[in-house]
């Protein structure tokens, strides 16, 4: 929980296959070949205050601890405030239902 508080990120996707690429470190496929799918079907919510501080001077290799959640189609077309509220609720449920460890943050 400390790592989430410091460097946390909540990643939601309408497509499980995109989360699979993320979990398997297939960066080129995800962020280059599937860029339009990422833009239309994934959202990234910064949770940790340390992430905000690092973003002031971004650098190659900047990382976060992520909670990943597959959401229903249409999530990414909702108004931002509703996305944020829904992602917050889903992340809280995911965290409360699972025992998190340093290597088990992909939910």
Residue 84 CA, distance from chain mean position: 12
Mean pLDDT score, 80-104: 81
Dihedral angle over CA of 37, 52, 8, 94, nearest 10: -70
Q: By C-alpha distance, which of 19, 16, 9 is closest to 45?
A: 9
**pLDDT confidence of 99, banded at 50, 70, 90?**
low
Mean pLDDT score, 8-24: 96
pTM value? 0.84
- Provide the 3-class DSSP secondary structure of residue 42: strand
Average pLDDT value over all residues in the chain:
89
Q: In whole angstroms, what is the distance from residue 28 CA to residue 7 CA?
A: 23
State yes or no: pLDDT of 82 exceeds 60.
yes
43-46 own/partner pairs: CB under 8 Å, 24+ apart? 43/11, 43/12, 43/13, 43/75, 43/76, 43/83, 43/87, 44/9, 44/10, 44/11, 45/9, 45/10, 45/11, 45/12, 45/84, 45/87, 45/88, 46/8, 46/9
Query: For residue range 34-60, what is the model confidence (pLDDT) as tens digits?
Result: 999 999 999 999 988 899 999 999 999
Task: Kindly list the domain boundaries of the chain, sorted by start residue.
Answer: 2-97
């Amino acid at each position: 929980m400390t790592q989430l508080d410091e460097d946390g990120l909540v990643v939601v996707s309408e497509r499980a296959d995109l989360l699979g690429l993320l979990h398997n470190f297939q960066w080129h496929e995800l962020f280059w070949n599937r860029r339009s799918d990422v833009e239309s079907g994934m959202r990234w919510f910064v949770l940790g205050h340390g992430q905000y501080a690092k973003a002031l001077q971004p650098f190659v290799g900047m990382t976060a601890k992520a909670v990943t959640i597959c959401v229903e189609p249409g999530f990414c077309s909702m108004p931002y405030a509703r996305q944020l509220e829904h992602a917050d609720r889903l992340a809280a449920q995911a965290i409360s239902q699972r025992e998190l460890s340093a290597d088990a943050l992909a939910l």
